Structure 1
Amino acid sequence: MIAFWLIVAAMLLGALLCVVPPMLRAPAGSQGTAHAMHAALAGLLIALVPASALTLYMRVGDPAALAIQTAPVASKGDHADAPVSMQAAVSRLAARLRDDPDDAQGWTMLARSYMALDRPGDATEAYRRAVALRPRDAELRADYADAMASANGGDLNDATLKVIDAALALDPDEPKALALAASAAFDRRDYASAMQFWERLSKVPDLAPEIAQQARKNIDEARALAAKGSVAKAASVEVRVRLSAELEKRVRPTDTVFVYALADDGSRMPLAVRRLSANQLPATVRLDDSMSMTPSRRLSDFSRISIDARVSASGQARPASGDMTGTSGPVSSKDAGVIDVTIADIVR
């Protein structure tokens, strides 16, 4: 059994290492090489390494948003066989679990692999199976909650909060559960609770220094917002997204839709991002300051923005040939009303 898992892990890791985005590879001999490779590998391996060892879900940068901002479209030949190898390894693992459904370790690895492939819906189901087999594993429950939120467009709803609460009941110091609980409180403008969770997170034994530092920054941010009484001042925009009649038949219900706000300064770093499924269109979504990736770039910091929407058949945040897009063009972030975005163009 151990040998089998070593083989599966090696296959999955090998496939992941093959798909390091070219943009993250620094030129040979440059001072940034080690840092670029480290950043790339950290993002790719997070699904296969216990989440508490790496950056957590705590507003240090949404991977989807980071992928959206960069965006040269890769040629069809670039690493063409790497995703296939990854998919094949995951498919073999899923097939094996059909014959051995009581393998908790297998379900856990399958769930993390699905998250690496940006398939949070499938990851949620795999985590559910793993949690049923290991109900006392707090870290596993926290990962389950993270997958549930990802599958629901980042929404930490009541069902997800129950899983987070269960994880913290098992282990009050579970890092990802604390980070998720803090983010949920922050999203509902309960800054006092958010600060309490982040304070607990910052004091978790053996926590990575960068995570503790980010938790303290988040505490300062929440304290400042609470002091300003900024609920009314926080910027938000309502976005109505639909498909053009010409493209409706080309979209599959399971395709992923990214809706995101961009500043008028030319940066591709989104100010806020929501993820939907194509079967939810047409839809009206809200983008607001609570979805910012960094405190220094919020909707409220820019008077002019644009709203883009993109359908990704692959489910990946990085734009690719064949994706379908639409944009609002420049609009006011203050008095825009409901912003209409029609997805009518195809990325060539």
Structure 2
Amino acid sequence: MTIFWLITAAMILVALAFIAPALLRKSELKISDRDKQNVVIARERLLELKSEHAAGTLSDEEYEQTKLELEQALLIDLDSAGEIDPAVGSRKGSPVTLIVAMLFIVGVTLSVYLYLGTPQLVDPATMAQQDDKKMPSIEEMVSALVERLKENPEDAEGWYLLGRTYMAMKDYQKASFAFEKVNQLVSDQPPLMLAWADALAMSSGGDMQGRPAELIRKAISLAPEDQTALWLAGMVEDQSGNYARALEHWRHLKPMLTEDAGAVEQVDRLIAAAERKMAASGPGAAVEKPSVAAATGQAITARITLSAELTSQVKPEESLFVYARALEGPKMPLAAVRLKVSDLPATIELNDGQAMVPGMNLSSFQQVVVGARISRTGNAIAASGDLLGEVSPVSVSGDAVVELVIDSVIP
């Protein structure tokens, strides 16, 4: 701010430097020059009189009378030239005039700037405060977008933008909900399907089995040359134990990444890891394997009912997910079964054969959480408004039947 006012003062001084010499310089009016002017004027007037007299405009008497008056006036002017008026004949610049001019220039300059300019731009602190006031936070922008989508729920672009924003905020569950809405509005678009699958996988700790795998496999069938689809499809097959299929996707992808050395290096690591897994699995690994083995090991029996208070809030065709997950650690299900509300009350068994990821099953834990959730959207990811019932801790080695009552609503 100080620099600004210093520059302003310097510019005003420069302006004053141009006018100060003229205001302070001594000026003299030369008498001789003044006499010459009077004589020239008199001669011109005399010629005019002669022309008018010759033309008959003036009579002889008028001509002589006017000529006499002109000569007398000229004589008076020449006689008075000898008396020099100091105020007229010689003038010296006054400092008072310079001061008045300086104050006038400064006053006008500042007044015009304050009226037409933007003084607050000079102060960084003020600008920062204004920026804080003008720029809404990410949360405010998200809230505004959500309100807009409530008014226009068919806005696919708005839902996609909301999903990408939630992904950047690492709120993967809300992102998956937004991308699901996009896919409902615009179907069979590989980029949208992959975005939804990515959000679902991230909300499950990186697990791509289940719905994410379905979306990715459909996307790669629609767009077999899509780099993102090839990358994710390889990861899906790798997690499923289908190493040969994973290698096929990644080897197809690698030549497309020649301009990105870092991506090529990462794909090479994935290929090497898949080759080691396939070699360790034996000859049969080249054949696509099922995602889970037959039911073995521990099992939990659960009886699921719906509280009478919530019966009127559900529809028979709505999805019911029954699951067991680790008491501590990853939230992805160790075993899961999908039913419908019309199946209630129901008694089901959760076992190792229902694991979503090999090695992450009931037998790997001693205690788990057993739950049942009615999804209002049909999505495997919990969302606001879903009905829920959970029991924990439940011993995996126990033989007792777990009584699950769906009696609460997810806020």
How does the TM-score come out when normalised to structure 2?
A: 0.41
Structure with more of its chain in helix, by fraction: 2
Higher relative contact order (Cα pairs below 8 Å, separated by 6+ residues): 1
Greater C-alpha radius of gyration: 2
